[in-house]
Structure 1
């Protein structure tokens, strides 16, 4: 907790117009952050924050003035995960055409068993309040989650999880009802043994890549998803 309280999250522009500046402090510095620019021009970000009591929950912010200022971070979900260390397993973020933010992240189902991680999902339409978290139906210890939003407002999520002495990559599509109260998951599909998936949207096509072990090294798998 003491070391994490000294960490800060900085943003800057590559063209030098925005000098590096801190927008948050006391974050989990080993877990990846996720930042993007939405179709509306706003900048959105999410990271694993270290809250009082050493609770490692997700924090979310938005800038609507080109990164000059950011809103005070809001807590995505109160998971209650007390952990004196770094999980090295951060959140992922997507924003659809309706400005709905989709966030997925790893956390324990039971905080008394912090080594058994599952994945959770929540959304926000106003960048201030999130829906109650929903568990993504993983089979075993999961992480390295990635998410993209599709034109129809659904989200596609990929991750890796423990399997057969290694890691297996899986994905699913998440759909939320127009009223926002019901979440459904498509049939979960396995891509094979591997880890560290990455997703990209090209027009109407979603591509997934992942690392696969091979004798003497590794290769990168690539697949177009339906």
Structure 2
């Protein structure tokens, strides 16, 4: 069965006004669970054990969303977010914060032309800070086109600590306007920029009937909602301008000149879940890993990984990480997270609601460069459909952050010998992003107003 999605370029947050905060966890080796009440600009005393510091990032009375965060070598962090204007207009901003939460800069707009950007909750901007403190931001630019849904992917580079950005370089090389999204960004130890994304340049869409739409909605598992989006960014109960959307394709490109130009786009896979985010990882041994959710026969949707042993020049055949038996005739907006440890063992984390076991957040490991994977391990049943964050810290091990139910976010350390979650923390928030800087965990997320 094909998927149905309303003709739209972006999904704005469903709430009229939101704000972004980031969570500074002062104590990492914690047990038990802590909650933070949902209040404006919470500041928890730093001297109290097991308590985090919450700092507001986005301005008041602004419709903000889609946060991302990256740590720098000096322990500071860069937070990006999107401010939505009326209609389809949006801007990507970035701000630099010290390790104690104090701002080190004013917010800076990344997109060179005002209101040029577009984003939605499943497809936020990306940010990476390299070892020399160069800041890279990946973002999506909208294209006005009466013929098709269309946007372009860009990477903007700052070499002065995020205070200014060079001319943005376009990544996708197709000559005609088309859809590109769900991108992921990484930079390897040699400064090579790596980007993966979903692409529909060669895919044809057909008009969907109301019967097809109803059938799709009924096929979703209990507790899931298939999003319909109108092209003005607002959710509508009445569907208009619907079309069937075929499965997407995964593309890859890289830059060897610091983001001035990007290589010819390379297709890695077809029949890909069209709104599940990609992931790309640059390992310290020069391997590159790309992940996506593959659509298999009869609409089974499983996490796939392709690996490159030569820095992204070529890729080995795709490997399915786990047979979860998740059969769903719709896109769950749920990608995977990738990380490697000091021995370059690859770990993958993802959500599934398949019949193989209970719905939840799972992980699996590869010790042979992504050729094979261990049986999956359950991280938590307290997870909802979404893309988790997986980080590795040489001192504390793996850190996982994920979305739960009822607007809760969870963070946990993974016990190395068993893979079980320990030191679980819980806060109120939506759509998290996370990084480790200076040995501390920072999480950016949305709070509702």
Class of the TM-score when normalised by the shorter of the 2 chains: 0.7 to 0.9
Of stretches 131-140 and 93-102 in structure 1, the one that deviates more from structure 2 is: 131-140
- Matching residue of 2:408: 168
Cα distance change of structure 1 residues 148 and 92 upon mapping to structure 2, 3 Å threshold: same
SS at match of 1:94: strand
Work out whether 1:124 is the aligned partner of 2:366: yes
- C-alpha deviation, 1:111, in angstroms: 6.6
Structure 2 counterparts to residues 31-110 of structure 1, below 5 A: 31-108=276-353, 110=355
Give the distance between the partners of 2:355 and 2:247, measured in 1 at CA: 28
Check conservation: 1:156, 1:173, Cα contact below 8 A.
yes
- C-alpha deviation, 1:137, in angstroms: 2.2
Give the distance between the partners of 1:5 and 1:203, measured in 2 at CA: 44
Check conservation: 1:144, 1:197, Cα contact below 8 A.
no
- Matching residue of 1:223: none
- C-alpha deviation, 1:201, in angstroms: 2.3
TM score, norm. by length of structure 2: 0.42
Aligned residues: CA RMSD: 2.2
What count of residue pairs does the alignment treat as equivalent?
203
SS at match of 2:254: coil
- Matching residue of 2:249: 8
Cα distance change of structure 1 residues 25 and 142 upon mapping to structure 2, 3 Å threshold: closer
SS at match of 1:53: helix
Give the distance between the partners of 1:105 and 1:10, measured in 2 at CA: 21
Structure with the bigger RCO (C-alpha within 8 Å, sep 6+) is: 2
Work out whether 1:145 is the aligned partner of 2:388: yes
Give the distance between the partners of 1:195 and 1:110, measured in 2 at CA: 27
Structure 2 counterparts to residues 178-197 of structure 1, below 5 A: 182-190=418-426, 192-197=427-432
Give the distance between the partners of 1:140 and 1:64, measured in 2 at CA: 33
- C-alpha deviation, 1:20, in angstroms: 0.5
User: Which stretches in structure 2 are left out of the alignment for 5+ residues?
Assistant: 4-244
| TM-superposition CA deviations, 1:59-114 (whole Å, max 9, x none) | 011112121111111110000111111111111111122111111111115479xx
Larger radius of gyration: 2
Check conservation: 1:145, 1:159, Cα contact below 8 A.
yes
SS at match of 2:315: coil
Of stretches 14-23 and 135-144 in structure 1, the one that deviates more from structure 2 is: 135-144
Check conservation: 1:98, 1:153, Cα contact below 8 A.
no
Cα distance change of structure 1 residues 17 and 142 upon mapping to structure 2, 3 Å threshold: closer
Give the distance between the partners of 1:41 and 1:154, measured in 2 at CA: 21
Give the distance between the partners of 2:270 and 2:286, measured in 1 at CA: 25
Work out whether 1:133 is the aligned partner of 2:376: yes
TM score, norm. by length of structure 1: 0.81
Check conservation: 2:379, 2:420, Cα contact below 8 A.
no
| TM-superposition CA deviations, 1:147-185 (whole Å, max 9, x none) | 11121582110111112xxx11111111332xxxx3232
Cα distance change of structure 1 residues 203 and 140 upon mapping to structure 2, 3 Å threshold: closer
| TM-superposition CA deviations, 1:118-141 (whole Å, max 9, x none) | 211111111111111111223364
Cα distance change of structure 1 residues 78 and 111 upon mapping to structure 2, 3 Å threshold: closer
Give the distance between the partners of 2:375 and 2:318, measured in 1 at CA: 17
Give the distance between the partners of 1:140 and 1:62, measured in 2 at CA: 27
- C-alpha deviation, 1:206, in angstroms: 2.6
